[in-house]
């Protein structure tokens, strides 16, 4: 027994020793093998395991089709180009096209109780999250399929972009048939301008030449944002290149402070905000500096009406020592926006001082005379009070400065409300026999005149905008009544086009509400009536304004369109057989009239009146939020 046990113990010890020896030998063998491998091969093995394998894993992850995305996309066509898709769905800022390394996993949508809804303040936040997620040329299409076809994300895109940022993305807008006709009209006018007047102020469509006012390409600059909204990419690029390479202010002469501000400065700022192109802001700043230095050198709070851009000096017009009320009080939106965009408060402070001074002057019924002196800062005694020429946009900019400020600068609202109360009390009358509502004038500070310029037809849109922003319902009631009168100024004429000025009958023996004097029968392709139709349609959704605007557009097509290019103002709206062309296409026909018609005929509110305020030349500027 002892021997047997001894043998068993020997075997046990021997086996353990063998196992230990075997493992040691194996470990030693692998180490020896690795030492014998050349350095180059060792590097290759490291590359395979630590570089190539991880890259292969990432490649498989981001190129493998998303099954869920494919299922969701069966009923939807994918975007053709990833860049185009990116522009459509995401309002990316300039330069924000680099992929970011944030983790993004789309949440599954629970449809059991309907699509989830976000609070209004969060609607854009989801889009921003998507924008900041990993966006590359390889995975963008999959992302779009996965996210854009979910009910929740689609609704957020519609709420966040389609209602707020359509102006920045005209390619999103499906144009209606009527809009397409307006685009054709624009292209017809632009083609003639390009051939005969490109880079000059205005086209003369009959004589096939051009006219100069400031020699600063007024029609071209006025049209930039119109082309942007209509998505006319080729025409826009041509115009943009001209502004970048040819527009010079240091060699220009005299310009009107008001006209150059609303058309050129306003046009440059508007297209800057829509496109994000900093070139426009630089041009706007250069012009603003010259206008500021020259116009505000009068010694009073009231600027000169004219400025020499080359010498940067200001002066009164040759025909008078006075400036017009509208000239000095309708530059505020543009100068304030320039301050906001550049961070330079000087522009806004200069025009604010003008308004503060006007508010300090004595007025009767809060209605301001139309002439004011840049020398002593006082109103001209006995000057006309009107919402027509030389007075109109003073009242417009009272409301719009308040709106532009995000409804924070209440001094403008207060003065606007007081002025509207004065309009109700002193200027609003009813004609006979149909009872049309109109806004007259006060001559010499005393005598009422039943005269109304077509320019006054801006007022319905402004009144409606005031009501939309919380003012009294009587503003909207007057807006609707007055717009019906403006429409009658078209429909009562044999050509279907309004004269420049009309008079209203206040005599019981009269047979018509509206009469036209021989000197006032011309039509300058003005926008004010269709502007108000656009605003009221946007705010009420009433399609009658679209139908009324369509008839006006057809009248423009019939009586002002020049067959071989352009549109012309006419001398006689009372003569359909001989309207008599004036051989002039105003810059505002492309910048305002066709723009407002295009926006009026759209199914979408392409430029939201809650996000933009239009200057008096129809250039949308952002509301400060």
What phi, psi does 308 have (nearest 5°)?
Answer: -90, 110
For the question of residue 500 being annotated catalytic, the response is: yes
Query: What pairs with residue 453 in β-bridges?
Result: 501
Contact by Cβ (8 Å): 325, 275: no
Task: Report the alpha-carbon distance of residue 208 to residue 196 in Å, rounded.
Answer: 6
Residue of 318, 325, 350, 322 whose CA lies nearest to 336: 350
Q: Identify the active-site residue in 73, 147, 225, 528.
A: 528
Q: Provide the 8-state DSSP code for 457.
A: G
DSSP string, 377-437: --BPTT--B-SSTTTHHHHHHHHHHHHHTTS--HHHHHHHHHHHHHHHHHTEEE-TTT--E
For the question of residue 156 being annotated catalytic, the response is: no
Where do we find the tokens 């027509």? Answer: 388
* Distance from the Cα of residue 66 to its chain's centroid: 38
Contact by Cβ (8 Å): 498, 490: yes
For the question of residue 592 being annotated catalytic, the response is: no
3 state DSSP class of 571: coil
For the question of residue 246 being annotated catalytic, the response is: no
Contact by Cβ (8 Å): 594, 185: yes
Q: Identify the active-site residue in 141, 337, 500, 617.
A: 500
Half-sphere exposure of 564 (CA within 13 A, CB side): 8
Instruction: Copy the structure tokens of residue 274.
Output: 């829509």
Contact by Cβ (8 Å): 541, 535: no
Contact by Cβ (8 Å): 268, 284: yes
Half-sphere exposure of 348 (CA within 13 A, CB side): 15
Sign of CA dihedral 454, 455, 456, 460: positive
Contact by Cβ (8 Å): 345, 339: yes
Q: Identify the active-site residue in 202, 259, 306, 617.
A: 259
Task: Report the alpha-carbon distance of residue 483 to residue 252 in Å, rounded.
Answer: 40
Task: Report the alpha-carbon distance of residue 189 to residue 320 in Å, rounded.
Answer: 35
- The torsion angle over the Cα atoms of residues 125, 127, 129 and 130, rounded to 10 degrees, is 170
Q: Name the residues annotated as catalytic.
A: 259, 392, 500, 528
């Amino acid at each position: 027994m002892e021997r047997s046990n001894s043998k068993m113990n020997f075997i046990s010890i021997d086996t353990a020793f063998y196992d230990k020896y075997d493992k040691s030998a194996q470990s030693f063998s692998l180490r020896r093998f690795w030492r014998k491998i050349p350095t180059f091969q060792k590097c290759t093995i490291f590359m395979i395991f630590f570089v190539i394998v991880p890259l292969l894993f990432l490649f498989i992850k981001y190129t493998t089709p998303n099954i869920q995305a494919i299922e969701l996309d069966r009923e939807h066509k994918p975007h053709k180009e990833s860049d185009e898709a990116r522009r459509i769905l995401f309002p990316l800022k300039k330069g924000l096209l680099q992929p970011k390394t944030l983790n993004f996993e789309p949440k599954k949508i629970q449809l059991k109780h309907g699509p989830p809804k976000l609070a209004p303040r969060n609607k854009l936040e989801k889009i921003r999250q998507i924008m900041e997620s990993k966006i590359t040329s390889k995975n963008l299409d999959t992302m779009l399929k996965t996210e854009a076809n979910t009910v929740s994300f689609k609704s957020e895109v519609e709420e966040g972009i389609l209602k707020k940022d359509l102006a920045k993305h005209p390619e999103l807008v499906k144009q209606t048939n009527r809009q397409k006709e307006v685009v054709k009209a624009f292209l017809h006018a632009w083609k003639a301008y390009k051939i005969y007047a490109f880079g000059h102020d205005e086209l003369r469509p009959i004589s096939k030449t051009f006219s100069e006012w400031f020699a600063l390409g007024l029609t071209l600059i006025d049209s930039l944002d119109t082309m942007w909204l209509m998505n006319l990419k080729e025409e826009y690029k041509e115009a943009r290149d001209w502004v970048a390479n040819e527009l010079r202010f240091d060699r220009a002469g005299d310009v009107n402070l008001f006209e150059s501000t609303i058309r050129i400065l306003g046009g440059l700022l508007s297209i800057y905000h829509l496109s994000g192109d900093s070139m426009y802001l630089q041009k706007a700043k250069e012009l603003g500096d010259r206008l500021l230095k020259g116009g505000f050198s009068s010694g009073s709070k009231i600027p000169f009406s004219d400025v020499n851009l080359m010498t940067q000096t200001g002066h009164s017009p040759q025909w008078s020592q006075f400036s017009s009320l509208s000239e000095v009080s309708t530059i505020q939106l543009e100068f304030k926006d320039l301050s906001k965009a550049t961070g330079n408060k000087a522009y806004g402070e200069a025009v604010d001082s003008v308004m503060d001074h006007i508010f300090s002057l004595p007025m009767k019924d809060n209605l301001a005379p139309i002439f004011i002196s840049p020398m002593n800062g006082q109103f001209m005694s006995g000057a006309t009070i009107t919402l027509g020429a030389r007075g109109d946009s003073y009242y417009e900019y009272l409301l719009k400065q308040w709106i532009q400020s995000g409804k924070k600068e209440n001094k403008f609202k207060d003065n606007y409300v007081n002025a509207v109360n004065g309009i109700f009390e002193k200027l609003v009358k009813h004609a006979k026999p149909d009872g049309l509502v109109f806004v007259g004038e006060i001559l010499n500070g005393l005598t009422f005149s039943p005269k109304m310029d077509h320019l006054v037809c801006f007022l319905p849109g402004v009144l409606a905008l005031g009501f939309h922003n919380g003012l009294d319902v009587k503003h909207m009631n007057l807006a609707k009544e007055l717009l019906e009168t403006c429409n009658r100024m078209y429909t009562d004429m044999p050509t279907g086009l309004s004269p420049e000025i009309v008079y209203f009958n206040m005599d019981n023996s009269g047979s018509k509400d509206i009469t036209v004097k021989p000197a006032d029968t011309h039509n300058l392709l003005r926008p004010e009536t269709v502007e108000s139709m656009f605003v009221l349609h946007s705010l009420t959704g009433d399609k009658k304004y679209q139908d009324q605007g369509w008839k006006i557009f057809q009248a423009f097509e019939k009586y002002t369109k020049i067959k071989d290019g352009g549109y012309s103002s006419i001398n006689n709206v009372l003569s359909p057989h001989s309207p008599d062309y004036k051989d002039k296409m105003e810059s505002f026909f492309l910048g305002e009239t066709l723009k407002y018609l295009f926006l009026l005929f759209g199914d979408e509110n392409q430029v939201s009146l809650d996000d933009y305020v239009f200057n008096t030349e129809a250039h949308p500027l952002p509301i400060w939020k």
